[in-house]
Structure 1
Amino acid sequence: MNLKRLVASFIISSLFLTGCTNDSATKTVTNRAKQQQTMTKVQNDVNEIMNKDYNYVLNNMGAPYSTTYWIDKYKINNTQTIEELNETGIVGLVYPKYTADNELEGSALYIELNNNKVVEVQTYDFGTYEEDEVLEDSSLIVMDKYSNEGILELSDMESINLNTFEGNPVDELHKYLNYITPNIDAYDMVSKSKSIEVYKLIHNSVNTNKTLMVFLDDGKIEKINIVGDSFVIKQARDYFNQ
C-alpha cells in the first residue's frame, strides 16, 4: 500500500510547515475551515470521494498540502508534463488536519488514486506510524510536490553563478536558500542515489513559468540550472534514464 510511504514523506516535510502572513491569514483560515468540513464528511463516509477523479477531489477539498507520484521509471517516456501525472498511475494526496487556532492537529487525511480514480482513503495518526511498514519499489521514481513551497525570486537566482554549487554537497545550496523546502523532490528508487529538487521562480510575486532544477547524486550537486516549466519532466526523464 503506497499510503504507508506517503506518511513517511509527510512526517518529514511537516517539520517545515509554517504559519501564514497577516495579509493572507484570514483567507487561509476560511479555506481551511471549509476543507476541514469536507474532510470530516469524507472520514465519516469515504464513499463521498471513492472512485471519483483527481479534479473532483480538488474541486471539493481544495489543493492538498502535498502530492506524491509513484512513476514507473520505464514508462516515464510517455509523460510530458506534471499535469499528466495527475491522471495516470498512482497519486497520493495529503490533507493535514488543523485545529480551530490554525495549528497542526497531528493527523492527516491520505487519499490514493490509481489511474485517476480514488481507490483508498485513510486517516493516520503520526504517533502510531511504523517505519517498517513503508514499502520499497525498485522500478519507481517517487516525486513529492508541495502546493505552497519552494518559491524563489528569479532575479536572485540569475544574479549568482549557479555553477559554483556544482560538485558540492547540496547542504551548501540549502544554507544559501535559507533551507527553503523545494517545490518538488524526486527520487530514483532504482539507483538509490539520484534525486532532483525543483524550485518555482517568481518575479514581483508573479509566476515566471521558470524553475530552478538541482540534479543530485549521493547528496552532491551534479548540475544546477534554470529551465522552463514545460521542460521539468523531460529534464528529469533524461537524468534518471542516464
Structure 2
Amino acid sequence: MMRMQMMRKLRCLAWFPCLLAFLLLPGSVHAKEYACDVTIPATVQVSGDRIPSGEVYEVVMEAITKDAPVAENMTQKVLNSGTVSFGQIHYTVPGDYQYKIYQKSGSTDRFTYDKTVYTVTVRVQNDAEGGLTAELWAVKEGTTMKNDAVQFQNHYDAPRNNGGGSSHHHRTEETVTYTTVIQQPPAAIGAPRTGDAQQPLLWGALILLTLSGSMIIVGKMKKYYC
C-alpha cells in the first residue's frame, strides 16, 4: 500500500517539470508579435581646420507616406559632430513607408552646410514566423543609388592667419575654443527589431533541465517498482 502511494507521488512529480516548462515558454504556444521596430540613424561630420567648438546642427525627419508611423522626436540636434537616431518607430501593418531627412542650414560665419535631402524607405513585410520584418535604404535627392547611411558633411573655412590685424583681433582669436574632429564612419541603417522577444538558447537550456529532472524521477519510480 505504501509503495503504491509512493508511486502515485512520483508520477505527479514527473509531470511537474513539464508543466513548469510549459508555463515559462509562452513563445512556444503564441505566435510572434505582429510588429517590428525600426531606428534610423543620421550622422553629421565637419571638415576644415580650427573648427570652433559649440556649433549645433539640426537634422529633421518628415513623413512622406500618409499616416506613416513616426519617431517620438522628429528633430534631432548634433553638437559639433556625431550620430543621432530617429526611433524606435513601431510598425504593425506591411507596406512601404517613406520619409525625408535633411539638415537645417545654419547661419554661422564660415560654415558651409550640407543641403543633401535623403528619401528613406522602410519596407515592412511578413516574415516566415508569423511576424513582421523590415528592410531600409536611403536615396539622395536627384539620384537613384541606394545608400546604407544618412550622412551630412559640413565644412568650416578657417580664416587665414597672415600675421596682420589689430591686437584686438589677435586677442579675440586666442579666446576661441576649437573642436577636435575625429572623422568616424557614418552609422549604417541597421536591421529592425522584431516583436519576438524569445531567447532560444535560454529556453533550450530550460527544456534540457526539465527533461533531465523528469528522467531522474522516472528512474526513482522504476527503483521503487522493482
Structure with higher RCO (Cα < 8 A, 6+ apart): 2
- TM norm. shorter chain > 0.5: no
- TM (norm. structure 1) is 0.24
Structure number with greater Rg is: 2
